[in-house]
């Protein structure tokens, strides 16, 4: 069994460890004196951690995506845990189990896919239903959709993460469509297709990274191109629906500074942006609460500073349970 996992490293602060980690990224940088050092990101199924190796002479040959054996010191830099690497080498295949390095959704993939399929089958707008069936019935797309992470390192960054995110988003979008009396099938189409370009933007194996296409074009551009190709093969697809579907994808990041080519200009696009952002943030909260417990803190204790949200967090219900226990005793 692998030991330690990244989620456990807080227990080893200011201690030396030896362990196996996947290399999520490797960059060669220069010190002020001109000598080189490695800026690294290590990963396993429990998360990611920044690392530095100041003396590169002690390093064997290794690259992004490799699993490596590492010896180093767990320390803290600007409030964040970091590993100062002393020695590193590429691990032999017999030394590790790949399942230790690839985080995976806790949900059953077949059940998630059945939920997604059920939403599509509930559509009354037949053109949108046909468009979605052209994606879900495509074997290559379906295989990738069942596996893809939703991001490289942010929310739902695990195998099956994109499917999990989409199904979660469909649940709240369905409720929101009824509450705000918007075009339900159009909103749900946006929920399913808003990140469809990530199937080609990202690659996944022992780590998650961007493809060349993903780096140069991004998932929004890729997604619109995929939708265009599918619509071109559907006779009689209304041009008005095409424009609205593509607008949902183009505007779902909400703001220009967030990489959105267009601002949301229809009710369904505004809803999609905020629901998508909310689902991502709530998943981040739950992940941090789970990490808090894994790190040895109480479920009702404040977490460490979370960089992506620029604040620490508190899990309300365990906190109230703990306070009530105090009052009763």
Q: What band does 154 get if pLDDT is binned at 50, 70 and 90?
A: low
Q: Phi and psi of 122, rounded to 5°?
A: -80, -5
Q: What is the CATH number of the domain that holds 20?
A: 2.40.50.140
- The single-letter DSSP state of residue 297 is -
157 shares a domain with 17: no
55 shares a domain with 20: yes
51 shares a domain with 146: no
Q: What is the CATH number of the domain that holds 147?
A: 1.10.3210
Q: What band does 238 get if pLDDT is binned at 50, 70 and 90?
A: very high
Nearest to 195 by CA among 168, 172, 176: 168
Task: Give residue-wise pLDDT tens across range 300-316.
Answer: 889 888 888 889 999 99
Alpha helices in 16-79 (DSSP H): none
Domain that holds residue 70: 6-100
203 token code pair: 């690659």
95 token code pair: 């030394």
| Number of structural domains in the chain | 2
Task: Give residue-wise pLDDT tens across range 16-33.
Answer: 999 999 998 899 999 888
Q: Is the pLDDT of residue 59 over 80?
A: no
Whole-angstrom CA distances from 279 to 5, 224, 321 are 27, 22, 25
Task: Give residue-wise pLDDT tens across range 73-98.
Answer: 999 887 788 999 999 999 998 898 87
Q: Using CA atoms, how far apart are residues 187 and 247, in angstroms rounded to an integer?
A: 11
Strand duo 47-53 + 80-90: pairing: parallel
Share of the chain above pLDDT 70, in %: 99
Task: Give residue-wise pLDDT tens across range 101-151.
Answer: 887 888 999 999 999 999 999 999 999 999 999 999 999 999 999 989 988
Q: Using CA atoms, how far apart are residues 290 and 328, in angstroms rounded to an integer?
A: 26
Task: Give residue-wise pLDDT tens across range 257-272.
Answer: 999 999 999 999 999 9
265 shares a domain with 135: yes
Contacts of 319 (CB under 8 A, 6+ apart): 300, 301
């Amino acid at each position: 069994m692998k030991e330690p996992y990244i989620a456990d490293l807080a227990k080893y602060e200011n201690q030396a460890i030896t362990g196996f980690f996947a290399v999520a990224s490797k960059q060669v940088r220069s010190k002020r004196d001109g000598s080189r050092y490695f800026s690294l990101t290590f990963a396993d199924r429990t998360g990611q951690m920044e690392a530095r190796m100041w003396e590169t002479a002690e390093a064997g040959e290794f690259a992004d995506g490799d699993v490596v054996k590492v010896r180093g010191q767990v320390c803290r830099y600007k409030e964040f845990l970091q590993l100062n690497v002393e020695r590193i080498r590429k691990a032999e295949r017999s030394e590790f189990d790949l399942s230790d390095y690839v985080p995976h959704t806790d949900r059953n993939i077949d059940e998630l896919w059945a939920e997604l399929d059920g939403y599509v089958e509930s559509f009354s707008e037949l053109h949108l239903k046909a468009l979605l069936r052209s994606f879900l019935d495509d074997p290559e797309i379906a295989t990738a959709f069942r596996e893809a992470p939703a991001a490289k390192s942010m929310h739902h960054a695990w195998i099956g993460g994109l499917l999990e995110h989409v199904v979660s988003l469909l649940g709240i979008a369905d409720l929101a469509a009824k509450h705000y009396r918007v075009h339900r099938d159009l909103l749900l189409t946006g929920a399913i297709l808003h990140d469809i370009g990530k199937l080609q933007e990202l690659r996944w194996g022992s780590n998650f990274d961007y493809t060349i296409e993903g780096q140069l074009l991004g998932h929004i551009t890729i997604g619109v191109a995929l939708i265009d190709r599918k619509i071109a093969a559907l006779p009689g697809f209304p041009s008005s629906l095409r424009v609205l579907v593509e607008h949902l994808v183009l505007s779902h990041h909400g703001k220009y500074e967030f990489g959105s080519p267009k601002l949301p200009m229809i009710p369904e696009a505004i809803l999609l942006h905020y629901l998508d952002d909310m689902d991502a943030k709530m998943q981040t909260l739950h992940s941090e609460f789970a990490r808090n417990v894994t790190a040895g803190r109480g479920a009702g204790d404040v977490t460490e500073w979370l960089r992506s949200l620029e604040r620490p967090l508190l899990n309300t219900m365990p906190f109230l349970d703990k306070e009530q226990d105090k009052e009763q005793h």
